[in-house]
């Protein structure tokens, strides 16, 4: 008999809605007025946020420094650069303006600014080394990773071709400002990949051996249905406030622990995708979406079929009176239709620039997490999924 033993900690204060940026001074000033602003210069200036934020800084007497060249898959070198700025100038609070990459980079900076060791990667390997952090405030421009309300930061170490993370409750943002209007200008491919990311964050915990988490399953199904309904609308109507608001609010709840309570999922697809992202500079959500249907077909069996049936019926509305095998197959087909037709995500790894050169090395990394997977995979299984997705 499973027991419901878990900790849920979501301390982020959220200002949500049109005009939420008016709370910026309130969000920041409680921590100090010396700010490192982390952002992608093209996004922040195109949305007008740069001028809005710096206007507040000037009006309210802030000092600020800028890190404006964060990569889509944030690099350790940017984390180190940001931490050096913070130490040199006595920065009191970090302001992240952007999507998951910017927020994750900011968390990495927060994690190592006070770290006294020689290796800035060490706290990513051992989270116990994260003892004191800078407070973080976020202004979101993307519905995607949900990093604005969790304590994880995925960073790429290009020296060793490893994508891993800084993880600590101390890194959960103190405040997040979430205005759907600031997501209107996100590139179409990023909107699609972000929607897939939200969906798969939820499915990673949904596909789990636990069979007694009815409430949590319902939360997850609602989030996935939200992606299915509003993702295509956001692509066709970029300024549809309803679609943008629902996706933006779905993103953090897919990853902040709500859909994980009572489960023991090992996030299989992320384990398979992160090594790909470490070798190839791909959009994270695209990689996940390409892998998911192939992984689903690979693990479908008499042991897992009931979960596929539940997924197909409750997320995609497939007729529950059909034979189980047919429902399961239709569920996988519906997943493909959603990702590749409705969201227009590329269907294969080859299309996004991935080849089979590093499959062995990538599988060696991915297999290290096999004990936590929904269905444990060996190295050969992982390579087979990579090949099927190629």
Residue 47 has pLDDT above 90, yes or no: no
Summarised one tens digit per residue, pLDDT across range 207-241 is: 988 878 899 999 999 999 999 999 999 999 999 99
List, as own/partner pairs, every contact residues 326-332 make where C-beta atoms lie below 8 angstroms and the sequence separation is at least 24, other chains included. 328/300, 331/296, 332/293, 332/296, 332/297, 332/300, 332/308
Please, what is the average pLDDT of the chain?
95
Tokens of 142: 């993307």
CA angle 131–133–138, rounded 5-degree value: 145
| Closest of 21, 8, 115, 109 to residue 65, by C-alpha | 109
Neighbours of 118 (CB within 10 A): 6
369 pLDDT more than 90: no
Domain identity same for 28 and 139:
yes
Residue 388, pLDDT > 60, answer yes
pLDDT for 49 beyond 50: yes
CB contact at 8 A, 190 and 139: no
126/216 same-domain check: no
- pLDDT attached to residue 4: 65
For the chain, first and last CA: distance in Å?
41
Q: Give 2's pLDDT tier (boundaries 50, 70, 90).
A: low
Considering 139, 166, 182, which residue would you say is the last residue of a domain?
Answer: 182
Please check whether residues 85 and 116 belong to one and the same domain: yes
Q: Do 18 and 87 fall into the same domain? A: yes
Total residues found in the chain within this entry: 390
C-alpha 295/C-alpha 53 separation (Å) is 43
Domain final residue pick, 155, 182, 209 = 182
Residue among 250, 194, 255 nearest 223 (CA): 250
pLDDT above 70: residue 117: yes
Q: Are residues 257 and 273 in the same domain?
A: yes
CA pair distance 187, 195, nearest whole angstrom: 12
Per-residue confidence (pLDDT) for residue 1, from 0 to 100 = 39
Residues 141 and 237 in one domain: no
* pTM of this structure: 0.96
Whether 2 is covered by a domain: the verdict is no
Do 111 and 246 lie in a common domain? no
Residue 229: strand, helix, or coil: helix
For 53-76, the DSSP string reads: HHHHHHHHT-EEEEE-B--SS-BH
Q: Are 346 and 263 in a shared domain?
A: yes
| Closest C-alpha to 121, from 177, 82, 162, 181 | 162
In whole angstroms, give the CA distance from residue 151 to residue 226: 24
Question: Looking at 182, 198, 228, which one is the last position of a domain?
Answer: 182
Count of the separate structural domains present in the chain: 2
> Which of helix, strand or coil describes residue 238?
coil
- The range of the structural domain enclosing residue 88 comes to 13-182
Name the phi and psi angles at 379, rounded to 5: -55, -45
- pLDDT-based confidence at residue 325 (cuts at 50, 70, 90): very high
> Of 181, 134, 139, 133, whose CA–CA distance to 27 is shortest?
139
Percent of the chain with pLDDT over 90: 88
Q: Are residues 198 and 177 in the same domain?
A: no
């Amino acid at each position: 008999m499973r027991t419901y033993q878990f900790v849920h900690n979501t301390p982020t204060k959220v200002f949500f809605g049109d005009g939420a940026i008016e709370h910026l001074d309130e969000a920041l000033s409680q921590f100090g007025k010396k700010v490192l602003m982390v952002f992608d210069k093209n996004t922040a200036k195109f949305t007008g946020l740069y001028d809005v934020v710096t206007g507040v800084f000037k009006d309210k007497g802030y000092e600020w420094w800028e890190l404006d060249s964060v990569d889509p898959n944030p690099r350790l070198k940017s984390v180190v650069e940001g931490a050096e700025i913070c130490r040199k100038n006595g920065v009191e609070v970090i302001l992240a303006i952007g999507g998951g990459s910017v927020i994750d980079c900011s968390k990495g900076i927060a994690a190592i600014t006070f770290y006294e060791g020689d290796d800035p990667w060490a706290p990513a390997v051992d989270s116990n080394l994260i003892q004191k952090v800078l407070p973080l405030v976020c202004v979101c421009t993307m519905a995607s990773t949900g990093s604005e309300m969790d304590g994880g930061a995925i960073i790429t170490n290009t020296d060793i071709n490893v994508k891993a993370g800084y993880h600590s409750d101390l890194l959960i943002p103190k405040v997040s400002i979430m205005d759907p209007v600031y997501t209107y200008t996100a590139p179409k491919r990023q909107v699609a990949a972000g929607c897939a990311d939200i969906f798969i964050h939820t499915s990673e915990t949904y596909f789990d051996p636990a069979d007694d988490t009815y409430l949590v399953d319902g939360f997850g199904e609602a989030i996935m249905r939200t992606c299915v309904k509003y993702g295509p609308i956001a692509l066709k109507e970029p300024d549809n406030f309803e679609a943008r608001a629902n996706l933006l609010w779905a993103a953090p709840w897919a990853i902040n622990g709500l859909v994980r309570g009572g489960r023991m999922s090992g996030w299989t697809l992320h384990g398979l995708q992160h090594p790909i992202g470490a070798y190839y500079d791909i959009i994270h959500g695209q990689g996940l979406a390409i892998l998911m249907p192939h992984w689903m077909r690979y693990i479908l069996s008499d042991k897992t079929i009931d979960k596929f049936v539940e997924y197909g019926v409750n997320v995609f509305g497939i007729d529950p009176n059909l034979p189980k095998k047919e429902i399961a197959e239709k569920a996988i087909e519906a997943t493909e239709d959603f990702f590749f037709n409705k969201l227009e995500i590329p269907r294969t790894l080859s299309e996004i620039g991935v080849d089979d050169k590093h499959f062995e090395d990538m599988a060696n990394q991915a297999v290290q997490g096999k004990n936590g997977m929904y269905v444990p995979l060996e190295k050969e299984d992982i390579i087979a999924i990579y090949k099927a997705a190629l």
